[in-house]
Structure 1
């Protein structure tokens, strides 16, 4: 933790592809340490320990990705020297390169890092760390839907989508938060590291924030349909989507393909980046997740409905792939259904 006598400068890097909710949500959380908890408990606001400001391009106002006007406090050229730089989520196409689109921001980030600043990204904002050359041959995390955006474009990056936070670089001065609302975890971590654990806990209490210690795994889709140029495999995929409950589905797909077993296994893996049996498991588990979220069937019945006769095998597989047991998943993600049932 850094000893401080003046508020820490926290620059929030914005661009039209960012969402205003994350930009200003970060602004609110970083404005809170030292100020809000004392106000709530005593009626007198305390002294802020951090000074956030929004920095962007030439400093001109712009509409963010969700249509909200953002009015930066500073341009890149006149920004006060930051102690911390935060990069919110960016709407970029998953898997695609953004090379050349954020050159000015990338250069500014690299200078800030070289000057000793802590760099922190939320969700797809990690792409700008890659553009600044700070992820090459390093561990990283990003929203589970954007893993290929890093692996396709930055050499040697080792993405850990199972982790909510990943720290890397010299003195661990680069930190990434995985996805969605994990920017809240990122803010709490930075407050705890640079101001103090007590202050971070106070902010969590003021805003009723919960630390996502389970990581991204329970939230991630186990698969996404990948359209390929292989018509035979596409036909098998479509069949699997409707028939994954049937016994021996891989054998059935092999027969449908008209290929030998060895050729089918190799061709399916090449087209989908998944083994055929893993593809079936992913389809079954995604259906099981939906049933656990929205219904009240016993776990054994859910296992049977999606194609598993052995409920204990289903439970072990679910735990390994999702990160929670089926019962834990239902408790975690069935709360909305339970709330609606009380209406």
Structure 2
């Protein structure tokens, strides 16, 4: 009679840029699969079908990005071909090159995949995974703040910030923004231990990712003012003149440059064409208005510079993933609850100074 199956090793790549919350969140969910459900229901002790391991370049204890001390279970050389490996999020700025800093880790991930491993990445962990070349010609996802930079650095990959979970081939799984790692760990549990076990983990840990697309949380105007002072002046102007007609023509006139020269210079400085920038700025302002007030959608559209409410609604949904009404229901409710939690007549800044 065959004995119980050996647990599946899941190597969790730990680096000095790792964030402890996701790294250990993965560890706890995998280690608690089956075990915690049995414990809570008074059933005989059960063991997890997974064996999570913290794997790093060396086995020495080190401080992670937020200062938490991490003691790895194994070095890369001790774990050359795990059945499953996961790169959790990295606290590095969007656009920062990491291939040189993590050359050994990149080789290890590539070799493990070539040997048959399933490779997963959570959130900004895609920055390191993309350096392996395994995503070339595939679809992928990452945190919404990273996808634009990843698209520029890795143009052979099709990046989808709006998707919470992406299967890139048979042996690559990727989760997008923030707590979308919940989706990833549940997908791994479902694949190797069955959907019932994944549902139990979700119920124990109150995991409810919902249907809100990741891009609904995104700041459309991320990146701030351009370093180019002329472009920065135009950015400041357009932020103060939402109702102005023909804003791109107005910025061209303000710059004193030829139209083609201005558009090229603006795009180089911001990563967006002037018209794209105008739309993202207006839509971000609309999001703030929808969160904080009850003005009709038509009035919001007019306030941020759109005479045609239908066009505004289509543009909003294309960029945000929700209609304006859906966005208000989702985030207006959240904003009100946060204000209620703050308490009557108080503010965080006042509390901190008392």
What is the TM-score normalised by the length of structure 1? 0.89
How far the C-alpha of 1:155 sits from its partner, in A, is 5.9
- Within a 5 Å distance, the mapping from 1:85-96 to structure 2 comes to 85-96=85-96
Given that residues 161 and 215 in structure 2 are in contact (C-alpha distance below 8 angstroms), is that contact kept between their aligned partners in structure 1? yes
Matched with 1:165 is 165
Matched with 1:12 is 12
Matched with 1:105 is 105
Query: Which stretch has the larger CA shift, 25-34 or 227-236?
Result: 227-236
Matched with 2:116 is 116
How far the C-alpha of 1:264 sits from its partner, in A, is 4.5
- The answer as to 2:319 corresponding to 1:299 is no
Measured in 2, the distance between the counterparts of 1:330 and 1:132 equals 40
Measured in 2, the distance between the counterparts of 1:210 and 1:50 equals 22
Matched with 1:204 is 202
Matched with 1:175 is 173
Given that residues 300 and 311 in structure 1 are in contact (C-alpha distance below 8 angstroms), is that contact kept between their aligned partners in structure 2? yes
Determine helix, strand or coil for the equivalent of 1:145: coil
Query: Which stretch has the larger CA shift, 133-142 or 146-155?
Result: 146-155
Matched with 2:352 is none
Structure 2: gaps of 5 or more residues = 344-354
Query: Which stretch has the larger CA shift, 231-240 or 199-208?
Result: 231-240
* Bigger relative contact order (CA 8 A; separation at least 6): 1
Aligned alpha-carbon RMSD (Å): 2.5
How far the C-alpha of 1:260 sits from its partner, in A, is 5.3
Matched with 2:321 is 323
1:82-121 Cα deviation digits (max 9, x unpaired) = 2210111112232122232112212221222122111000
Measured in 1, the distance between the counterparts of 2:56 and 2:268 equals 42
Given that residues 9 and 81 in structure 1 are in contact (C-alpha distance below 8 angstroms), is that contact kept between their aligned partners in structure 2? no
Matched with 2:350 is none
Matched with 2:347 is none
Matched with 2:72 is 72
Measured in 2, the distance between the counterparts of 1:209 and 1:140 equals 23
- Within a 5 Å distance, the mapping from 1:167-316 to structure 2 comes to 167-169=167-169, 172-225=170-223, 228=226, 231-259=229-257, 264-265=262-263, 267-269=265-267, 271-316=269-314
1:185-211 Cα deviation digits (max 9, x unpaired) = 110111111211111111111111123
Given that residues 95 and 147 in structure 1 are in contact (C-alpha distance below 8 angstroms), is that contact kept between their aligned partners in structure 2? no
Given that residues 225 and 235 in structure 2 are in contact (C-alpha distance below 8 angstroms), is that contact kept between their aligned partners in structure 1? no
Query: Which stretch has the larger CA shift, 91-100 or 6-15?
Result: 91-100
What is the TM-score normalised by the length of structure 2? 0.86
How far the C-alpha of 1:28 sits from its partner, in A, is 0.9
For these two proteins, the number of residue pairs brought into alignment is: 338
Structure 1: gaps of 5 or more residues = none
